[in-house]
Amino acid sequence: MLKEKARIAVLVSGGGTNLQAILDAQQSGVIHSGEVVLVISNNKDAYALTRAAKAGIKGLYISKKELKSQAAFEAAVVNAMEEYEIDLIVLAGFMSILSEGFTSKYPKRIINVHPALIPSFCGKGYYGLKVHEAALEKGVKVTGATVHFVNEIPDGGEIIAQKAVEVMDGDTPEVLQRRVMEQAEWIILPQSVEKVSAELGVRSQE
């Protein structure tokens, strides 16, 4: 019997451009083994929640600040995963580190996109524009993006895909950030979502 598509939850904190790339890839058929059924944001004003609503996808706001602890926050996220029968969790600009207690529940079922070529400019403290600021400060000529599985070490899980992007003279962190998104993140994240979704389907049938 054929398994239905992998059910995907996307965790976001901001504008949701990577979420949009995933939704666009579903529309175009790049992603056909999985389907986004839930978007969770830890920021109630995240435009990503608007994107989810426009696409007819359930959006949830779960706040660590309001729940008073990381444990309570993660418990609420786990409850949502169970309620929506989630197979794959995608971190797409999610500005919160998840504990080992959470990540160990979902081995090889959480993926993240990082805006650099791991092992460069990654780990604790490297997120958002800080990554691109560090790359420019170092003077690298090539940067890029990495999609990897998530484990208890920030940016430490097995690499799924990487794509290089050229650094240009005169780049600002903002300009470089945009180029990395357009030329790497928005390409390899949807491809990786499809790859892992397809593998989850295979695993569930074994």
Closest to 79 in 3D by CA, of 57, 51, 102: 102
Those residues whose C-beta lies under 8 Å from the C-beta of residue 7, and which sit 6 or more positions away, are: 34, 35, 37, 38, 84, 85, 86, 87, 88
Residue 133 CA, distance from chain mean position: 21
> Is 114 annotated in the active site?
yes
Closest to 111 in 3D by CA, of 50, 174, 54, 155: 155
- Can you tell me the distance from the alpha carbon of 131 to that of 121, in angstroms, rounded to the nearest whole number? 6
Pairing of strands 6-12, 88-91: parallel
Catalytic residue among 32, 114, 132, 148: 114
Under DSSP, is residue 171 helix (H, G, I), strand (E, B) or coil? coil
- Token readout for 24 is 């666009």
Residue that the structure tokens 């430490």 belong to: 156
Please check whether residue 193 is in contact with residue 22, taking contact to mean a CB–CB distance below 8 angstroms: yes
Which residues are known catalytic residues?
114
